[in-house]
Every structure is written in C-alpha cells, then in structure tokens.
Amino acid sequence: MKLEVITPDATLFEGEVELVQLPGLDGLFEILNNHAPMIAALGKGRIKYHQQDRKDQFLEINGGVLEVLHNKVLVLAE
C-alpha cells in the first residue's frame, strides 16, 4: 500500500510500505494492506512504517489526521 505523510511545509514521506503504526488519540494502532476506508485523528507521537527488506523507520508528528482510501494511507501531520 502507499503511504504519504505531508505537513504544510513539506512532504515527509511518500512510498510503498507494508505496515504503518500510528499514534491515535486513544492509543497506537497499525494499518496493513487493504485496510477498509477510515478517517482517524492522530495525537502527538511517532509514526512507524515498514518497507520491504528494510529496517523500521520513524517520523515524529505533533498530531494530525489520517485517511485510508483505496489502499492509500494519507497522513496530514503537523
């Protein structure tokens, strides 16, 4: 699935990932391939994403919103 993390100033990440872990308002949750459409509010924390054959990578965010649609995960971070 495709992950895109954007802030008003820049695009932090764009690419194919296998797993994303996000800081939801009520705690961490993970999104895998072919997730159902979802909109979620995110709290302060870090996003973990896993790309094939690579180590997990992290992005710090200060809250945001997430949309999952058609196997595409879009994070509007702050």
Residues lying near other proteins in the complex (CB under 8 A)? 6-11, 24-26, 29, 36-41, 63-65, 67, 69, 74, 76, 78
Give least dist CB 52 to other proteins, A: 26
8 or 33: whose CB is closer to other proteins?
Answer: 8
36 or 55: whose CB is closer to other proteins?
Answer: 36
Spatial distance between the Cα atoms of 9 and 22, rounded to a whole number of angstroms: 21
- Classify the phi-psi angles of 72: left when phi > 0, otherwise alpha if psi is within -120 to 50, otherwise beta: beta
Give least dist CB 36 to other proteins, A: 6
Spatial distance between the Cα atoms of 22 and 49, rounded to a whole number of angstroms: 9
